Amino acid sequence: MQYARVGSALRRLTSYGRSVGPVQAGAGVMAAAAIALVALVLGLAGAPRQARAAIDAPIHIVALGDSLVAGFGLRAADSFPARLKKALAAKGLAVEISNAGVSGDTAADGLARLDWSVPEGTDAVILELGANDALRGIDPAATRKALDAILRRLRERRIAVLVCGMLAPRNLGTAYTQAFDAIFPELAAAYNVLLYPFFLQGVATDQTLNQRDGMHPSAAGVDVIVSRILPKVEELIAQARSLRAS
């Protein structure tokens, strides 16, 4: 495009030269050509820098989830998104993480608010939904359908995703737990996205890492989750940068 504009300008100047005489025209064309060439060089030199700056800008991550993301019972600074951002910053990774956790949300609730919870400009999503579905005994087929729709829409938007798996309470019976537990690895494989098999790995059932309700992590529990999931989030950031550059 820049080459075309320079060529067009030179053609106009050449036409002008035919009307004013060869001496004046020659000087004018030479001066204009020099100016156009400098502008072209500067423009071409600036374009790679601008592209590199866009690629290197902080990655925008949305943590889309329920109370486990929202930070139920915790200070905002101790929520999963806040502690994760701090851990990533300590590794020199520039990210912005939005806390899109809503206590009590099911997978269907997350789907219903997807467009405004994951705004334009989002590079990556940490998807943590399903715990409330299991606690309420919602049909695993319904949970799968909602999560599938979320993943499909995020793929259409070229947003990198990390799926956080969940396990159903074992008192719901073998048939239910098998159907529910399989949702997360199967959908992650179907959409070729990253999977962290169990969001509460190393924290669930440990009274020292949970609040009094036994279900929500304490600040110490959040730190355990962050330390365990961190390598997967680093992979997510790398994928997001790759998508941004492509």
Q: Where are the beta strands (DSSP E) in the chain?
A: 59-65, 95-101, 124-128, 160-164, 194-196
N-term to C-term CA, the chain: 21
Given this model, what pLDDT does residue 52 score?
55
pLDDT in tens, 46-67: 556 555 555 679 999 999 999 9
Average pLDDT along the chain: 87
Query: Please, what sign has the CA dihedral across residues 88, 72, 159, 116?
Result: negative
pLDDT in tens, 216-240: 999 999 999 999 999 999 999 999 9
Average pLDDT over residues 105-133: 98
Given the residues 60, 123, 216, 218, select the one marked as catalytic.
Answer: 216
Given the residues 60, 66, 67, 79, select the one marked as catalytic.
Answer: 67
Given this model, what pLDDT does residue 121 score?
97
Given this model, what pLDDT does residue 191 score?
98
Active site residue 67: yes
CATH of domain 58-245: 3.40.50.1110
Query: Please, what sign has the CA dihedral across residues 132, 237, 100, 189?
Result: negative
Domain boundaries, the chain: 2-54, 58-245
Distance CA 37, CA 23 (A): 21
DSSP state letter for 217: B
Given this model, what pLDDT does residue 64 score?
99
The two three-digit tokens of residue 25, written as one number: 């025209």
Distance CA 129, CA 133 (A): 8
pLDDT at 189 over 50: yes
Given this model, what pLDDT does residue 8 score?
52
Given this model, what pLDDT does residue 28 score?
53
Active site residue 213: yes
Given this model, what pLDDT does residue 29 score?
45
Given this model, what pLDDT does residue 88 score?
98
198, 200, 197: which is closest to 217 by C-alpha? 200
pLDDT category at 97 given cuts 50, 70, 90 is: very high
- Are 123 and 61 in contact by the 8 Å Cβ rule? The answer is yes
pLDDT at 143 over 50: yes
pLDDT category at 163 given cuts 50, 70, 90 is: very high
Given this model, what pLDDT does residue 23 score?
44
Active site residue 98: no
Q: Which residue has the higher pLDDT, 12 or 202?
A: 202
